Amino acid sequence: MAERVEVLLSEEEVDERIRKMGEQISKDYAGKNIHLICILKGGSFFMCELAKRITVPVSIDFMSLSSYGESTQSGGVVKIVKDLEESLEGKHVLVVEDIVDTGRSLRYLLDVLKDRGAADVKLCVLLDKPERRVIDIEADYTGFQIPDEFVVGYGMDYAQRYRNLPYVGVVKFDS
């Protein structure tokens, strides 16, 4: 079965939205330092672009979770594959993730991080698929709400491909 990618959000649309998100985050965190936690691998492209547009001091760390493998459907089991290198004690934490769909992974992660002594923990996502939600979770900062399609590009992948696309696309499978 062959696949192709159709543009859902252009590079220009994504860049403009991230610029606006950076401005809002900078206003909301005025006078504070933000500790960005990037969720690998998909969140890396988004976090790099977002961090460049935040004007308050930032520090960064990385985590990796596993729940998909090479499937387009979440398996429902979440595990931490790479944990943080720094303590969160007293920090203003902003989790940066590419997408929230079922909410399972992010609910698990936010609960874990809140127990680690952060001053506060907020969530910033590039994409939100509310139709897929099975766990109640809402991002504090959202780039775009999208339909229930399997998306790639801008860090998101299908079987480790398409991460490097400069836009968000939908994978279409041809028979």
Catalytic residue positions? 101
Helix ranges, 70-143 (H): 104-114
Residues making up the chain, counted from first to last: 175
User: Checking phi first, is residue 109 left (phi over 0); if not, alpha (psi -120 to 50) or beta?
Assistant: alpha
Q: Are strands 141-145 and 79-82 parallel, antiparallel or unpaired?
A: unpaired
Distance CA(39)–CA(32), nearest Å, equals 22
Residue 26, Cβ neighbours under 10 Å: how many? 15
Q: Are 147 and 133 in contact (CB under 8 A)?
A: no
